[in-house]
Amino acid sequence: MAERFYELHVAGCTRRLPVLNVSHELAIAGFVMLGDVELTSACAKALAKKIPSNVDIILTAETKGIPLAADLAKELGMSHFIVARKSVKAYMERPICVEDESITTKGKQMLCLMDSDIDRIKGKNVLLLDDVISTGGSMLALTALTRKAGGIVAGKAAVLAEGEAMKRDDIIYLETLPLFEAQ
């Protein structure tokens, strides 16, 4: 059970986030919007106002970005969004994959697209979407996957920019989230 908390204010919502150690030196505020309908909807509405008008499709990584991508796609009037899967599924024909390394995931993982998703990306302006951008590892993997599928990265967006990511000028985000020393 967390003993430290960080109060986050984003898109008109306030959440009390537990501060959790991810290593002996580093702790993060545990931002999990998965299942939080009010927060997800409010963030999608706020992000929609910042998204470039030339975006054709949204690409997010499994799992936490899925509800945000669904709500943002609705806000932008899109009929589809794409989810990069963490493994090749039995229903995936001719998949393409890249490696991903994230601050919140132990070790490396894969991000994969199936042929119908590749067809939706090819030649299109793609918005890469995640809940939090921290080290940028997931965005690098989504960028590589988009390019491998023949798409064009039209923007990179998240609800929060964490740590050093808040200094980047190539991402769209709503609020910042500090990193903490482990205790």
Q: Can you give the pLDDT at residue 142?
A: 96
**Quick one: average pLDDT of 96-113?**
77
Q: Can you give the pLDDT at residue 108?
A: 76
**pLDDT > 80? residue 77:** yes
Cβ atoms of 39 and 17 closer than 8 Å: no
**pLDDT > 70? residue 135:** yes
Cβ atoms of 84 and 97 closer than 8 Å: no
Q: Can you give the pLDDT at residue 109?
A: 83
Cβ atoms of 101 and 108 closer than 8 Å: yes
**pLDDT > 60? residue 39:** yes
Cβ atoms of 40 and 33 closer than 8 Å: yes
**Quick one: average pLDDT of 57-64?**
94
Distance of CA 169 to the CA centre of its chain: 17
Q: Can you give the pLDDT at residue 2?
A: 72
Q: Which two tokens stand for residue 148?
A: 């491998």
CA distances from 87 to 26, 32, 33, 110, 114 (A): 28, 22, 22, 6, 11
**Quick one: average pLDDT of 131-139?**
92
**Quick one: average pLDDT of 23-51?**
96
User: What residues pair up with 135 in beta bridges, in sequence order?
Assistant: none
